[in-house]
């Protein structure tokens, strides 16, 4: 009788960690200190085994030599954190529904020209935030069909975006949603999907999911009424936070909002936004 030999974990040296963390910083602005060494080792370990790399240095060199850029995307996918759920940090959606959206609709009606509503979920992960935004809009607007509504939802992770585009989630993800909202916007799975729900096509039609590295040039031709960038900038240093926040400002319409995570703040960052309340900032009109 033979026993399979246990797989020995590949060690991550200090020099390798510095090279890998520097590559992450250069590519997407995420700063990883020494405390993240074991996290990097764990997240990249599977890829090393799949590719039969003998060391992290071998894998690092392979990324740099891959002219297609696909391995870099795969590498960044492994690093990205994709934890979210529907209506996370609910006060943001309450403010959107009961204060910002009614005011925005009033302003747009007065102009008699602007029927466009544009929001951006920057760092949308697996899509729950983007779908929550659309539900909030549809519930807040009396006649949404007369408006040109579009949500742009971007993320660094192709893996997370694949889930977002499918719109299929475990039932646990929506268990706490209001039953009326659940019936209105989700379909219950059957047979092998009985423990899942799927977002209705009506909801999907308002959203365009696409991959975007926030450190790269924004590819948008239109400006936004509101940008959600929550629990993303905590991974950036002050330099990249400052650059990103000011680029967001340029992408917003007058009176537009930037909403960040409750654990985040723009304090210590030079920016032109007006503070409204914790984690909510406005572009002056």
Q: Please state the domain extents for the chain.
A: 14-79, 90-282
pLDDT of residue 81: 67
pLDDT of residue 116: 95
Task: In whole angstroms, give the CA distance from residue 226 to residue 229.
Answer: 10
pLDDT of residue 217: 93
pLDDT tens digits, 135-192: 999 999 999 999 999 999 999 999 899 999 999 999 988 988 999 999 999 999 888 8
Fold of 14-79: Chemotaxis Receptor Methyltransferase Cher; domain 1 (1.10.155)
pLDDT of residue 114: 78
Q: Strands across the sheet with 186-188, in order?
A: 168-170, 196-199, 186-188
pLDDT of residue 8: 66
E-state strands within the chain: 116-122, 148-155, 168-170, 186-188, 196-199, 207-211, 224-229, 252-260, 274-277, 280-282
Beta bridge partners of 120: 152, 227
pLDDT tens digits, 197-216: 999 999 999 999 999 999 99
Catalytic residues: 43, 155
pLDDT of residue 7: 55
CATH code for the structural domain at 90-282:
3.40.50.150
Regions of the chain where pLDDT drops below 70:
1-8, 81-83
Task: In whole angstroms, give the CA distance from residue 79 to residue 95.
Answer: 32
């Amino acid at each position: 009788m033979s026993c399979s030999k246990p797989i020995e974990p590949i060690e991550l040296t200090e020099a390798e960690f510095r090279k890998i963390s520097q590559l992450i910083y250069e590519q997407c602005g995420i700063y990883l200190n020494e405390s993240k060494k074991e996290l990097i080792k764990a997240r990249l370990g599977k890829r090393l085994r799949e590719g039969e790399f003998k060391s992290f240095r071998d894998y690092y060199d392979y990324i740099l030599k891959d002219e297609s850029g696909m391995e870099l995307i795969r590498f960044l996918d492994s690093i990205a954190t994709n934890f979210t759920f529907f209506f996370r940090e609910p006060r943001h959606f309450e403010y959107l529904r009961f204060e910002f959206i009614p005011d925005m609709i009033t302003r747009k009606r007065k102009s008699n020209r602007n029927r466009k509503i544009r929001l951006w979920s920057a760092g949308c992960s697996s899509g729950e935030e983007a779908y929550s935004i659309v539900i909030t809009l549809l519930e807040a607007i009396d006649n949404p069909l007369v408006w040109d509504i579009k949500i742009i939802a971007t993320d660094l992770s192709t893996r997370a975006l694949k889930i977002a585009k499918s719109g299929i989630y475990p039932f646990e993800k929506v268990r706490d949603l209001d039953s009326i909202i659940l019936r209105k916007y989700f379909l219950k799975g059957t047979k092998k999907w009985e423990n899942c729900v799927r977002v209705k096509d009506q909801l999907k039609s308002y959203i365009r999911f696409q991959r975007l590295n926030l450190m790269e040039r924004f590819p948008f031709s239109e400006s936004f009424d509101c940008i959600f960038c929550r629990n993303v900038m905590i991974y950036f240093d002050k330099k990249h936070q400052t650059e990103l926040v000011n680029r967001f400002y340029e992408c917003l319409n007058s009176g537009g909002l930037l909403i960040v995570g409750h654990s985040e703040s723009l304090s210590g960052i030079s920016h032109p936004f007006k503070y409204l309340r914790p984690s909510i900032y406005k572009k002056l009109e």
